[in-house]
Structure 1
Amino acid sequence: MIGSDRLVSFFHLLLLWLHLIAAITWIGGMVFLSAVLAPLVRQRKAAPEFMALFRTAALRFRLVVYGAIALLLGTGPLLLHERGLSLFDPHRWPTVLRVKLGLVVVLLILTVVHDLILGPRMRTISAISDAARSPWERTLMRTSAWLPRLSLLVALAVLWAAAALARS
């Protein structure tokens, strides 16, 4: 029979492992899409079959991301509780935790803007010929690639803050 200390230790390890797997999945997928797949699409001058592949991969990845977010949001508060901290008592949080959670909020906002606002708009605009696009649509097309890159930088900053938190 497993002792209660060993069971608590196992539960903590399981929570931490699930939290890490979710973070690795989200960030790893972001790296793959932005460093591998997106450059291939741009290199091919957005040939229709490559654009279709990219869109399909991005949409499938979105489901993975939302699952990872759910797992992170479910395990994070439990891991905080194990440290004797509460989401509802932020004045007791170490500074690095405040930074990490602030970055997480920024990352969640960027993800929602990308997936629910900018992404659908880009699909609509990309179906229009460049000559028929308004100046705003052309600007949006040129700058839209920066949001995923910014999201990746914020995600890497979250990872850095998590490593700093683990050391504290």
Structure 2
Amino acid sequence: MTVKFLMLYLHLVAAMFWIGEMLTLMLILTPVVYRQGDTAKRAQLYHEVGMQSRPWMLGALALLVATGVGNLYFLNVPWKTLFDLGFYRTPLGRTLGWKLLGVLGILLLTVLHDVAMARLRARGGTVTRGSYRALGRWVGRLNLLLGLIVSWLGLRLMFGG
């Protein structure tokens, strides 16, 4: 197995893990948690699951970024090309540009979610407040959507843009 295929394989596994975790949270955990009736109990369950899955999700994101950089090398995209606006007028450049924007969006949304929840907990609050619950739901949905789009763009990159 060559380094190129190993890099791509690790990238795909990390993407599958990350998207799978997001789908599991939305499609399996959320319906179960919402049957719990008590808002404080639901908030506590989400907090515990979030703390348990956080290192795995952040690890998957870190692996995606690291292997993504490696995959750029194997796509023969030098660093200096990323700063050339003309590159983004090519099919490969356009696809890569959208993918990089999507990845940036995912990273920013992840930080927004983690910072908002950490600040709420630090103030002694619980995630039972409606605005924080809504923020958590929408950030999760948007992150999943961006993850699916970024995955599709990654597939396009493998076939030339």
Q: Which residue of 2 aligns with 1:126?
A: 126
Q: Give the Å deviation of 1:78.
A: 1.4
| CA apart distance, 1:45 | 2.1
Give how far 1:162 is off.
Answer: 1.0
Report which of the two structures shows the higher radius of gyration computed on alpha carbons. 1
Match of 1:73 in 2: 65
- Give the conservation status (yes or no) of the 8 Å contact 1:77–1:87: no
1:119 partner letter: M
1:43 Cα shift?
Answer: 2.5
Whole-Å separation in 2 of the counterparts to 1:127 and 1:74: 32
**Identity over aligned pairs, percent:** 30
| One-letter amino acid of the counterpart of residue 41, structure 1 | V
Distance across 1 between alignment mates of 2:64 and 2:109: 16
* Aligned residue number for residue 6 of structure 1: none
Task: Select 1:34's aligned residue among 26, 29, 34.
Answer: 26
2:98 alignment partner AA: V
Q: Distance in 1 between matches of 2:22 and 2:53?
A: 9
| Residues 108-159 of structure 1, C-alpha deviations (whole Å, 9 max, x = no match) | 00011111x222245444377xxxxxxxx54444444211111111111111
- Residue matched to 2:101: 102
SS at match of 1:110: helix
Matched residue SS, 1:84: coil
Q: Secondary structure at the match of 1:89?
A: helix
Q: Which amino acid aligns with 1:113?
A: L
Q: 1:36: Cα distance to partner?
A: 1.0
The one-character-per-residue Cα deviations of 1:70-111 (angstroms, maximum 9, x if unpaired) are 211211111111111024322335210100011000000001
Q: Is the alpha carbon distance of 1:97 and 1:50 closer, same or farther for their aligned partners in structure 2, counting shifts above 3 Å?
A: same
Write the distance in 2 (CA, Å) between the matches of 1:59 and 1:157: 26
What letter matches 2:156 in structure 1?
Answer: A
